[in-house]
Amino acid sequence: MNELHDLLRQYREVFDEMQAATADIRQAIEELNQQLAETEAPYQERLEELTHQIEYQAKLNGVNKAIKTEWAMVRYRAGYVRRTWNDKMLIGYAQAHPEILAFVKETHVPPKISIVI
């Protein structure tokens, strides 16, 4: 366990060094991202308005397939019912009714270690 603690200490030290070495770059990126967001804002607002108008027109005209123009494409996705099942309850139910196990697909996911700083 001491070796694990030592490795985690080393990991944190290298991480902290990286953060310090890139602090100015991260600050510059943050400032550029802010400038980008401010510049894009009025365009994004207009794009949202146009999106709502396009969706309205597509529904009004009964669009039920993709429509491609020289400027853009409108894709249609049919509505559907999303269904989820309570896995714990079904596993319990399967103990009394094993025939439902024929409909189960299991995928084994290996354990994974993650490091949180």
Per-residue pLDDT, 52: 94
Per-residue pLDDT, 97: 95
In the numeric block, which tokens belong to residue 66?
């993709």
Q: What's phi and psi for 115, nearest 5 deg?
A: -110, 125
Inside any domain, residue 44: yes
Total tally of structural domains belonging to the chain: 1
Inside any domain, residue 91: no
Inside any domain, residue 96: no
Residues 6 or more apart whose Cβ sits within 8 Å of residue 93: 100
Residue of 71, 33, 31, 38 whose CA lies nearest to 54: 71
Inside any domain, residue 71: yes
Distance CA 84, CA 81 (A): 10
Per-residue pLDDT, 115: 85
pTM of this structure: 0.61
H/E run at residue 39 = helix 23-60
Inside any domain, residue 108: no
Inside any domain, residue 105: no
Per-residue pLDDT in tens (0 to 9) along the chain, 117 residues: 899 999 999 999 999 999 999 999 999 999 999 999 999 999 999 999 999 999 999 889 888 888 888 999 998 888 999 999 899 999 999 999 999 999 999 999 999 988 888
Inside any domain, residue 107: no
